[in-house]
Amino acid sequence: MFEPSGEKVGGGVGVDRAMTCDQLGGGDTFAAGKDILEDDGFVCSYIIWQLAEEYALDLLSWVYFDLRSLPGNWLCYLAMASAITHVDDMRSKPDVLDLPKSEDTMEICKNANDPSQHAAKPNVTVASSVRELLECPVCLNSMYPPIHQCSNGHTLCSGCKPRVHNRCPTCRHELGNIRCLALEKVAASLELPCKYQNFGCTGIYPYYSKLKHESQCAFRPYSCPYAGSECSVIGDIPYLVAHLKDDHKVDMHSGSTFNHRYVKSNPHEVENATWMLTVFSCFGQYFCLHFEAFQHGMAPVYIAFLRFMGDDNEAKNYSYSLEVGGNGRKMIWQGVPRSIRDSHRKVRDSFDGLIIQRNMALFFSGGDRKELKLRVTGRIWKEQ
C-alpha cells in the first residue's frame, strides 16, 4: 500500500505516497500501526479521519519521533495510517462516503519544516478528544466493545443499536454489523481519571477498567438513606447528614443507646409504611434507625433495623441490639448494621433486622387489638 508512486492522497492532505515507513521515522512503529488497521478490514472510518484532520498540522512533525518515546501520541500515527488506508479503500468504493476536506490539511507540507510545528500537543488534549469520540451520541455514555458504526463511520454503543432500529442516528443509514475495531483499540490505550475525582479519588485507570473501578470506588457518593420518599439526592456523609436534618426534618440524636415508643391508632393500616427514621451520632460515625410496617402476604409485618452511614467494610466494626416487649414478653435482635450502600428496600426485603409479626405486635401492645403501642430500645457498640 505504501509503494512509491509520487501521488498526493488524503482528500487534499499533502502526504506523498513515495514516502517510505523509514522516511517517516520509526519505520517499525509506523508499520505496526498500519498492520493494526489492515487487520481490522474496513475500519478506517470517518472517526479516525476526524483525528487526522484535527491534528493535521502536527502529523508530519510527530512522525520524526519514535512512537515508543511518545506513548501518549501514538494515536496520531494511527490517524495518518488510517487516512492513507481510507483513501485506498475509497478508490475501490467511491460511493461509500465523501472524505471531509479542510483548508488546514492543505498546509501540512508547508508546516512540516516549521520548527514551531514540531512541539507535540499535550497528551491530555489527545485523550480528551478521543474521549469525546467515545461518547455515544444517543445515551451520551462512554462506549465499550462492541462499538458499532455505519458505513459513513458514525458510531454508537451496542446498547443503543436496538433502540434506533438499526438506523444510524446521525445519517439514518442502515447500521448493519460493522464493528469500529480501530476506535476500540484506541480506547484501550487511554488512561483516564475516575469520575469521582471531585469527591477525592486521585486514581488514573485504563479506559476498559475505569467502569469497574467506579462501580466500587470508595469515594463514590452515597444515596440519601431516607425511605419515606424517592429522594434522588447524593453526596458524601456530612452533606447527607445536613440534608436529612434540613430537608427531611429527621430527628438527630447523640449517644449509643436509644429508647423509642411507636404508636399507631389503626394497626391494620400499612399505607405510608415508613414510620420513622432517626439518625444517631456515636463513635464519630452516623447510624440510621429505621422502623416501619410493610405488607408481607396477607398481614402487615413490622421491622426495625440499623444502617451505617459509610461503607460496608467500616460497618463491620460495629454491632447493635434491638429489644421490643410488653405483657411480660420480649424479643431481642442482635446484628451488624448494613451500609447505606445497600438500599433501604434491599435490607428490609432481606428481613435483616428485628421482625415483629402483627399478632405479636398487638400482644406487646396490650392485647386489646385496638391500638399499636411498641417500645423499642437498643444500643450500638464498637467491636474490639
Question: pLDDT tens digits for 222-268?
Answer: 999 997 667 899 999 999 999 999 999 999 999 999 988 877 666 55
Task: Tell which residue, 326, 288, 279, has the closest CA to residue 306.
Answer: 288
Q: State CA 354 to chain mean position distance.
A: 35
Which pLDDT score is estimated for 214?
A: 93
**What number of CA atoms fall less than 13 Å from residue 78's CA on the CB side?**
25
Q: What is the mean pLDDT of the chain?
A: 72
With a cut of 70, say whether residue 340 has pLDDT above it: yes
Work out whether the CA dihedral 206, 207, 212, 213 comes out positive or negative: positive
- Rounded to a whole number of angstroms, the distance between the first and last alpha carbons of the chain is 71
Catalogue the E-assigned strands of 88-169: 147-149, 155-157
281: confidence class by pLDDT, cuts 50, 70, 90: very high
pTM to 2 decimal places: 0.60
Residue located via cell numbers 488506508: 85
Contacts of 7 (CB under 8 A, 6+ apart): 16, 17
Exposure string for 164-202, b = 16+ CB within 10 A, e = fewer: beeebbbeeeebeebbbbbbbbbbebbebebbbeeeebe
Q: Whole-angstrom Cα distance, residue 240 to residue 255?
A: 19
- The structural domains of the chain, ordered by start, are 8-133 (no CATH), 190-220 (3.30.40.10), 222-382 (2.60.210.10)
Q: Is the pLDDT of residue 309 over 70?
A: yes
